[in-house]
Amino acid sequence: MPLTKPIPLYPSYIDLLEFDFEDYPELDTIFSSEPDWWLEHFKWGQSFLEYTGRNKSIHTYDRFRNEVERFLLWSFIIKKMPIDQLRKTDILEYADFCWQPPVTWIGTSNQERFKLSNGYSSANELWAPYKIQIPKSQKNQTVIDKKKYRPSQQTLTSSFTAIIVFYNYLMAEEYCLGNPAQIAKKDCRHFITDAQVKEVKRLSSVQWQYVLDTAIDMANEDETFERSLFVIASLKTLFLRISELSERPAWSPIMGHFWQDEDDNWWLKVFGKGRKLRDTTVPVDFLPFLKRYRASRGLSSLPTSSENTVLVEKIRGQGGMTSRHLRRLVQTVFDRAYLTMKQHVGEDKALKLKEASTHWLRHTGASMEIERGRPLKDVSEDLGHASMATTDTVYVQSENKLRAESGKKRKVN
């Protein structure tokens, strides 16, 4: 029976390394009954993703898997043409498809790709290649109009980037002769030259104070929340990504990654994006939060460089916490801070706390430091940006804040 609706093609990186069609009978049946080029393309994607997972981060693997999967499914089900035969016009057609995919290709929540039953993996019927982003404040809506799906400029750029890199890999392996995605990108009608003031994904100083005070109150009431307070303070003050605090296959953050130099300056060794290690400065104001978290775990006041204790430990079980678990800790604090702020100063001023994500804390900390006058280069190095131009976007956001303040003073007459 021909494939008429999208199904997941590739599992997690760990499972892909041990992939066997015997474990995925549904995929085995499909590729056995469809044209030979389907299986060939699947193997091209498998080889590319193994390379990506081996040489990049798990996050990069997941992102490229999503894009390669969508592209191959489109070529199988919609275009019905091998990707080594596609030209620029075909890629532009794919961009149109990504701009407005069929509603049957759109999901409303994150879903596992495969379900395990009787030792075999089968496609999760609730999974979809695209996902409509729903603001946190609207999560409880019963009806979601999938026809309103539109990818952001960032999403569209990521799609093109992944397909271009995929084609470059296939060219290097001599599977393809050219890269039509590279040629098509500049002619894609969905890209917009954007000179708008970007919405600032950060908390105001007042909102941040409510978050911090809430986390402190929770920790004072129940020692279990000392962990939440430490995570909140670390993300904002040390400019960390949530993944940089989490347990990962290639890295386990430990207390010994805090270290002190000969001038008594404290640093934290961080394993960041692109598999790069960096040392970020640890301000004196952060040390009391480190000390109280360590005290709650029965540890000495400050860590030593030889200490192998897990940085953010699970309450139950062994080892460090995953990014998903850490996000839940932060969200619990955000939710309570929102209710408190709403009660004190009104819903309008508290509303951003309903939309905030963990990454907002990193932006908040960096923006505040730039507003205090800290050199952009120093902030850039603590953030782990490869280029100061990336950090400059934070600086521009801070400048726009001043611009908006001056703009309020304009008169009508």
pTM, rounded to two decimals: 0.62
Confidence label for 140 from pLDDT (cuts 50, 70 and 90): low
Indicate whether 200 pLDDT > 70.
no
Higher pLDDT, 408 or 72: 72
28 & 141 share domain: yes
Indicate whether 129 pLDDT > 70.
yes
Mean pLDDT of 2-10: 89
Asked if residue 54 lies in contact with residue 148, where contact means CB atoms within 8 angstroms, the answer is: no
Mean pLDDT of 390-409: 62
119 & 262 share domain: no
pLDDT digits (tens, 9 = 90+) for 29-57: 999 999 999 999 999 999 999 999 888 87
Question: Is residue 324 a part of any domain in this protein?
Answer: yes
238 & 176 share domain: no
211 & 178 share domain: no
Confidence label for 394 from pLDDT (cuts 50, 70 and 90): low
Confidence label for 320 from pLDDT (cuts 50, 70 and 90): confident
172 & 64 share domain: yes
Q: What are phi and psi of 36, to 5 degrees?
A: -60, -30
Euclidean distance between the first and final Cα of the chain, in Å? 72
Mean pLDDT of 193-199: 54
Question: Is residue 366 a part of any domain in this protein?
Answer: yes
Indicate whether 138 pLDDT > 90.
no
Confidence label for 109 from pLDDT (cuts 50, 70 and 90): confident
Tokens of 197: 């003031």
Indicate whether 274 pLDDT > 80.
no
Mean pLDDT of 204-228: 96
353 & 269 share domain: yes
370 & 236 share domain: yes
257 & 394 share domain: yes
**How many folded domains does the chain comprise?**
2
In angstroms, the Cα distances linking 224 to 62, 329, 376 are 32, 11, 37
Look at residues 157, 185, 213 and tell me which one is the last residue of a structural domain: 185
CA–CA separation, 17 and 368 (whole Å):
43
181 & 209 share domain: no
Mean pLDDT of 170-176: 94
Question: Is residue 394 a part of any domain in this protein?
Answer: yes
Question: Is residue 103 a part of any domain in this protein?
Answer: yes
258 & 384 share domain: yes
CA–CA separation, 249 and 264 (whole Å):
32
135 & 211 share domain: no
Look at residues 122, 153, 185 and tell me which one is the last residue of a structural domain: 185
Look at residues 185, 215, 236 and tell me which one is the last residue of a structural domain: 185
Within 8 A by CB and 6+ apart from 66, the residues are 129, 162
Three-state DSSP class for residue 248:
strand
Question: Is residue 300 a part of any domain in this protein?
Answer: yes
Q: State the residue range of the domain holding 366.
A: 205-407
Higher pLDDT, 140 or 15: 15
Question: Is residue 413 a part of any domain in this protein?
Answer: no
238 & 162 share domain: no
Q: What are phi and psi of 379, to 5 degrees?
A: -65, -40
Tokens of 86: 């596609």
Confidence label for 136 from pLDDT (cuts 50, 70 and 90): low
Can you give the CATH number for the domain in which 265 is found? 1.10.443.10
In what order do the strands lie in the sheet containing 258-260? Answer: 258-260, 266-271, 277-282
Predicted local confidence at residue 174, as pLDDT = 93
Question: Is residue 195 a part of any domain in this protein?
Answer: no
Tokens of 162: 């992944």
